[in-house]
Structure 1
């Protein structure tokens, strides 16, 4: 007869083994909500103020999630330090990605980020259905989304502490680096507009990057037409 071997027994507080999904979801939803609050509080400041606030929030979110799931519920135990590190990287990636979308399109960017992270990312995160059992296409994309990276990393540090976290951390690093690159590009647009009209600093920071690009293209088109009419 077949013999069952439990390589990593589940703790008493998580008999279903779903706490890593709860951990990821507990980082995602507050991060999206926090990014909305940071948008309204800091949209008239440089985008790096929101990034600094996002980093502080990510640390609080990670510590709070681990405190509840480990200390209170006893669901994810024995790896509080590494789990806080995973939570910090995950929450920071979530908030900065939403902030980057907002910097490009304004508040509607929150909807775009929610579509990617909440609806698509959560459905294929691997928390409830392992990657191997997902349909074709989803199975290939899921490991490269931040949701799946957080679930995989949290599962590894709690149940398989000797596992290699290279891939999950690489995924989070790619998403975070891409989001920071977008923020840097929008910040350069803001600085260029400030050099033209320094007295409108707050309004410039509150204007999405796409709006600045449209205005720049309009000015260039007008300058081209003016030059052509003179010649």
Structure 2
């Protein structure tokens, strides 16, 4: 019997490929901690779009703009009807309506868009009004559901859809090779993913709607959003796998989970995030999906176009890159391999 040494056992047990993958896993989990803590450890409003309706609205807006830390990006509005419309169109997060005939002013908010932001605006404007020897009355134009604690259901729903997308694509890679060996097989994977997206989108919409009554209405629209979100993330995963092989799964986790989830505006909206996460959030699937889900649920579908274009761009880009990567791989390897190899 051949005797082995401990160093040789280590080399046999932990191959260079496994070593690289373990190092990659360490990097991912440290990035996970850094991203989530960096984005969420100190939320505070910064340059939040905010309306002002007052006899001297421009002067009042300028005064609010000069608050310490610049929490507001205040702009003068013509009247209360305009302020209400802009809040429901998701152009601003809130508005102060000054009533000069009395000592009580009105703060308009929409907790359905973000309960954290609504609460932050109430605290901020209560202090501002107190300094002016005035009081504040708050009106919530789009209140979140009693079953939607802190307005987080939309975020968790979208996270579930994103997980479904990259898990489905990853399973296809594990079962039949990360890189499909021909465009036809890549197309089949995309078709399978589309079917999964339709089922997953419907399932998520039914769970948060009729099953748990966590989000009010919009089941059909949420189904469409869910199908698009699952497919966008899944197609992106297939594209990364087609270009980078199995490492592509890790890159998608970096993109969607590590960068995308804390920047999605779930727990805290974009103006309450640090600059880096605020900048990338709307352009990534979790952020676009969360914004769209809240628009569908609480704002009658207003301000949907941008987020749907973002998700569609990820979906289309995933399709194109997946097909191109498969064609290049087939050219390099001389065509499809036998069945069971992608």
What is the TM-score when the length of structure 1 is the normalising length?
0.81
Q: Which residue of 1 aligns with 2:266?
A: 127
Pairing 1:49-64 to 2, within 5 Å after superposition: 49-64=188-203
Q: Which residue of 1 aligns with 2:236?
A: 97
1:140-196 CA-partner distances (Å, limit 9, x unpaired): 2211111100000000000001413110011112212221221121122144346xx
Q: Could you say what secondary structure the match of 2:261 adopts?
A: helix
Shift of 1:138: 2.0
Pairing 1:174-213 to 2, within 5 Å after superposition: 174-193=313-332, 197-198=334-335, 201-202=336-337
Q: Could you say what secondary structure the match of 1:5 adopts?
A: strand
Q: Tell me if 1:25 matches 2:159.
A: yes
1:93-135 CA-partner distances (Å, limit 9, x unpaired): 0111111111112112100111110111001010111001111
Q: Which residue of 1 aligns with 2:311?
A: 172
Q: Which residue of 2 aligns with 1:145?
A: 284
Aligned partner of 1:35 among 150, 164, 169? 169
Q: Give 1 or 2: higher helix fraction.
A: 1
Q: Please tell me whether the aligned partners of residues 93 and 175 of structure 1 are also in contact (alpha carbons under 8 angstroms).
A: yes
Q: Distance in 1 between matches of 2:301 and 2:256?
A: 28
Shift of 1:35: 1.5
Closer/same/farther in 2, CA of residues 205 and 183 from structure 1, 3 Å limit = farther
Q: Which residue of 2 aligns with 1:14?
A: 148
Q: Distance in 1 between matches of 2:143 and 2:227?
A: 26
Q: Please tell me whether the aligned partners of residues 131 and 139 of structure 1 are also in contact (alpha carbons under 8 angstroms).
A: yes
Q: Give 1 or 2: higher strand fraction.
A: 2
Q: Please tell me whether the aligned partners of residues 149 and 172 of structure 1 are also in contact (alpha carbons under 8 angstroms).
A: yes
Q: Taking CA–CA contacts closer than 8 Å with sequence separation of 6 or more, which of the two structures ends up with the larger relative contact order?
A: 1
Q: Could you say what secondary structure the match of 2:318 adopts?
A: helix
Q: Distance in 1 between matches of 2:149 and 2:239?
A: 38
Q: Please tell me whether the aligned partners of residues 27 and 61 of structure 1 are also in contact (alpha carbons under 8 angstroms).
A: yes
Q: Distance in 2 between matches of 1:141 and 1:26?
A: 20
Q: Could you say what secondary structure the match of 1:126 adopts?
A: coil
Shift of 1:202: 1.8
Q: Could you say what secondary structure the match of 1:99 adopts?
A: helix
The structure that has the greater radius of gyration is: 2
What is the number of residues matched between the two proteins? 203
Aligned partner of 2:210 among 55, 68, 71? 71
Q: Distance in 2 between matches of 1:156 and 1:146?
A: 15
Unpaired segments of 5 or more residues in structure 1? 208-231
1:181-215 CA-partner distances (Å, limit 9, x unpaired): 21121122144346xx45xx2269958xxxxxxxx
Cα RMSD (Å): 2.0
Q: Tell me if 1:3 matches 2:137.
A: yes
Aligned partner of 1:88 among 212, 220, 227? 227
Q: Could you say what secondary structure the match of 1:78 adopts?
A: coil
Report which stretch shifted further, 182-191 or 60-69. 182-191
